[in-house]
Structure 1
Amino acid sequence: MTRLRFPLRAKFFLFAVLLAVGPLILVAQNISRLTRDELKSAANEDLTSVAAELRTSFDNTFQGRWLTPLMVIRNGVDSPDLDIAQKVSLLTLGLQELPQVAALQLSVAGSDLPILVTNSKYSGRVIAAGLDPVEVLSTPADLITSISGTGQFGRPVISYMPEIDTWMATLVLPLNTYIAGREVTMAAKIDLDLLAQMVASHPFAQRGVIAIVDHAGRLVLTDQPRVIADRQIVASAMPLIVAGARADALQPYVRPDGEAVLGAYAFPSHFPWAVITELSEDNAYAVVNALTWQIAKVGLVGLVLAAMGAFFMSQGLTGPILKIGAVAQKVGQGDFAVRVRGVRSRDEIGQLAREVDQMIAHLAERLELMKFVSHSTMSAIRKAEDSGMRRGGERRRVSVIFTDIRGYTSFSESVPPETVVEVLNRYFDVQAGLVNKYGGDVDKFIGDALVAVFEGERMEERAVAASVEIIADLQKLLSVYPEYNLHVGIGVASGEVVMGATGARDRMDFTVLGSTVNLSARLCSKAASDQVLVDEASQNAASISGRFRFEPLPAVSLKGYAEPVPVFAANLRVPVRA
Structure 2
Amino acid sequence: MRFPLPLKFFVFAACVAVAPLALVGENLVRITRDELKSAANEDLTGVAAQLRGEFDSIYQGKWLAPLSVIRNGVDNHELDVAQKVSLLTLGMEELANVVALQLSLEGADLPMLVSDQAYAERLAGAGLDPVETLSTPSAVVDNVVATGQFGRPLVAQLAETGDWIATVALPMESRIAGRRLTLVAKLDLGELRRSVERHPFHQRGEITIVDHAGRTVLVDAPEVIASRAIVGSAMPLIVAGARADALEGYVRPDGTSMLGAYAFPDWFPWAVITELSEANAYAVIHEMMRRIIVVGSLGFAAASLAALLFSRGLTAPILRIGRAAERVGEGDFAARVENVRSRDEIGDLAKRFNVMAAQLGERLELMKFVSQETMTAIQARGEEGMSRGGERREVTMLFSDIRGYTAFSETVTPEEVIEVLNRYFEVQAEIVERYDGDIDKFVGDELMAMFVGENKEQRAVQCALEIKTALAALLGGHEGYSLEVGLGLASGDVVLGAMGARDRMDYTVLGSTVNLAARLCSKAGPGEVLVERATREAAEGAEGVRFAEQAPVALKGYAEPVPIFAVESREIVT
Normalised to the residue count of structure 2, the TM-score between the two structures is 0.48
TM-score normalised by length of structure 1: 0.47
Bigger CA radius of gyration = 1
